[in-house]
């Protein structure tokens, strides 16, 4: 037998061996009714019609910002064009056996100016998408806000920095309940409010790109020490207002549920010292605690109140009552784990003059600056640490009374390497192992530890435009050929999920 045939045979056996090792869990391992789905956002996957004139859609801050500060100089004007290709993409989900699809509604597609005149063409489009999903047995999970504020509201009153946003978001959300709530039974108010506040208003890497880092050399406007907290406060007030509207006016008739999706890195102390253990707790307070504690307890974590002081807005008594308990479920977007260590001097934070220094921690995916916490995916921040999933679920169970949790995002990316063939790009054994290992840890958290988790959404269905990373990053289960009319190709992970989801109890 030739050397080439020997190598090919060895590779084939290796792949079969990987598949065999990863076959011990499947859909039936999870509790009955556990939901499996894929996820996307409007801005990352859909054509944006202000460029194309197909319907009256207003510009969003992401549309404006999406032409700036992108690593490959790309933009999301066309993205994956799910706007036109949603029937095809629905079939991709159905063929895999997915139960649900999490997508976002673009606010500016419903209200081009943020308020006022409703865009009926936008309403019609979402009706068609929702009806198409349901006709194929796929449950829609709808996110109302995934980072794409109408530019008109940013221009009118600086968007999330102004209290007026609470009322305008409430009108938009209630319009969605009225238009789609007879069929949509799962609503998510906001995706990753922590990312909105920090990336948009502290470091300026996301829209609207505000910060005071290096005395406005990086951003033209902003205040990194105050604006993130103001934005987060207005988001929480908006969320609670919308949940109150839904529960009082629509929930009984429409029989749906509503929650919010929070981005959460799990933090491990870099060293087993008291100061690092306390630093890891502070890091968690300034990330997850910042948003979940108002929902559970009606106020911000005590560490934030003491360390941020007067820069942290306060809830009025009525606001605290409204915010507390304002959820049916909490979505968790979890990808990775970092080390946390105490930062006593905080010299860099003082020089940068930003809110990230308030926690008094340094968080990195390296131990002692050298040893990585796990294998890295493509993104510089995404290190693969499956056990972090179990640790995080148990932390939420123990600290916050075991609320209903849905994993609304989990996944990993490969590089968009132009030097390899499509056939090779479809061989994503690393992604298969990622999902197997994270799901295995989630399963233990549910079955052995008693964590109240009801669903798992893969990020993402398709390779998409990945914000500041542009098209350099591929998160999708399906490969999108950007050079050939956006054709979709199933990666090996599609086959794995299809087998995983098609399993039946013996």
Tens digits of residue pLDDT in 33-64: 999 999 999 876 554 443 334 444 567 765 44
Residue whose token pair is 């409010």: 193
370: pLDDT strictly greater than 80:
yes
Which residue from 332, 330, 286 is spatially nearest to 311, judged by alpha carbons? 286
- pLDDT-derived band at 215 (thresholds 50, 70, 90) equals low
* pTM across the whole model: 0.92
Which range, of 38-47, 67-76, 452-461, 467-476, averages the lowest pLDDT?
67-76
Active site residue 409: yes
3-state secondary structure of 355: helix
Q: Which residues pair with 102 in a beta bridge?
A: 39, 141
Higher pLDDT, 120 or 465: 120
Judge contact between 165 and 238, C-beta under 8 A. Answer: yes
Judge contact between 110 and 125, C-beta under 8 A. Answer: no
Name the average pLDDT for the chain: 89
The CA distance from 466 to 40, in Å, is 11
Higher pLDDT, 146 or 465: 146
As a whole-number percent, the residues of the chain with pLDDT over 70 amount to 86
Report the chain's C-alpha Rg in angstroms. 22
79: pLDDT strictly greater than 70:
no
Which range, of 190-199, 215-224, 269-278, 343-352, averages the lowest pLDDT?
343-352
Q: DSSP states of 28-75 as a string?
A: GGSPTT-EEEEE--HHHHS--TTTT-SS----BHHHHHTTSS-TTS--
Write out the two tokens for 211.
């910060």
Active site residue 55: no
Residues 83, 85, 91, 97, CA torsion sign: negative
What is the chain's length? 506
Catalytic residue, from 57, 192, 227, 270: name it. Answer: 192
Which pLDDT tens digit goes with each residue over 91-138? 999 999 999 999 999 999 999 999 999 999 999 999 999 999 999 999
Write out the two tokens for 296.
């559970």
Judge contact between 107 and 145, C-beta under 8 A. Answer: yes
Q: Residues 36, 40, 41, CA angle at the centre, nearest 5°?
A: 145
Judge contact between 503 and 28, C-beta under 8 A. Answer: yes
Give the per-residue pLDDT at 475: 95
Catalytic residue, from 57, 80, 409, 466: name it. Answer: 409
Give the per-residue pLDDT at 14: 42
Give the per-residue pLDDT at 356: 85
How confident is the model over 463-477, as a mean pLDDT? 80
Give the per-residue pLDDT at 53: 42
């Amino acid at each position: 037998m030739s050397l080439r045939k020997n190598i090919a045979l060895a590779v084939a056996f290796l792949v079969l061996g990987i598949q065999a090792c990863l076959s011990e869990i499947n859909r039936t391992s999870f509790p009955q009714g556990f939901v499996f789905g894929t996820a996307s956002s409007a801005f990352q996957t859909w054509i944006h019609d202000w460029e194309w004139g197909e319907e009256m859609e207003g510009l969003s801050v992401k549309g404006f910002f999406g032409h700036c500060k992108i690593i490959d100089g790309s933009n999301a004007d066309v993205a994956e064009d799910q706007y036109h290709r949603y029937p095809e993409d629905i079939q991709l989900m159905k063929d895999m056996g997915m139960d649900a699809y999490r997508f976002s509604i673009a606010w500016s597609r419903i209200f081009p100016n943020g308020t006022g005149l409703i865009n009926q063409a936008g309403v019609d489009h979402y009706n068609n998408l929702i009806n198409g999903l349901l006709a194929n047995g796929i449950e829609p999970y709808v996110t109302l806000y995934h980072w794409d504020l109408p530019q008109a509201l940013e221009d009118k009153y600086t968007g999330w920095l102004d209290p007026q946003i609470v009322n305008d978001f409430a009108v938009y959300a209630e319009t969605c309940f009225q238009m789609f709530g007879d069929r949509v039974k799962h609503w998510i108010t906001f995706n990753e409010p922590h990312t909105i506040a920090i990336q948009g208003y502290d470091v300026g890497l996301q829209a609207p790109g505000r910060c005071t880092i290096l005395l406005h050399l990086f951003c033209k406007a902003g205040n990194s020490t105050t604006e993130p907290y103001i934005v987060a406060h207005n988001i929480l007030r908006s969320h609670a207002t919308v949940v109150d509207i839904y529960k009082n006016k629509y929930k009984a008739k429409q029989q749906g549920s509503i929650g919010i999706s929070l981005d959460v890195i799990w933090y491990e102390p870099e060293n087993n010292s008291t100061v690092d253990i306390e630093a890891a707790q502070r890091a968690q307070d300034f990330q997850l605690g910042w948003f979940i504690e108002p929902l559970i307890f009606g106020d911000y974590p005590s560490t934030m109140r003491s360390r941020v002081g007067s820069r942290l807005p306060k809830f009025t008594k009525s606001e605290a009552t409204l915010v507390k308990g304002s959820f049916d479920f909490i979505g968790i977007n979890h990808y990775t784990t970092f080390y946390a260590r105490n930062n006593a001097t905080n010299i860099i934070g003082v020089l940068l003059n930003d809110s990230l220094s308030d926690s008094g921690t340094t968080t990195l995916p390296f131990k002692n600056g050298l040893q990585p916490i796990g294998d890295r995916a493509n993104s510089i921040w995404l290190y693969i640490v499956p056990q972090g999933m179990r640790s995080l679920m148990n932390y939420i169970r123990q600290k916050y009374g075991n609320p209903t949790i849905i994993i609304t995002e989990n996944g990993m990316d490969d590089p968009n390497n132009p030097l390899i063939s499509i056939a090779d790009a479809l061989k994503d054994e690393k992604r298969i192992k990622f999902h197997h290992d994270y799901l295995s840890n989630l399963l233990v958290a549910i079955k052995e530890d008693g964590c109240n988790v009801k669903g798992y959404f893969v990020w993402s269905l398709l390779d998409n435009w990945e914000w500041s990373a542009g098209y350099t990053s591929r998160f999708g289960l399906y490969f999108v050929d950007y050079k050939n009319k956006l054709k979709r190709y199933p990666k090996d992970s599609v086959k794995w999920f299809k087998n995983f989801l098609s399993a039946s109890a013996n």
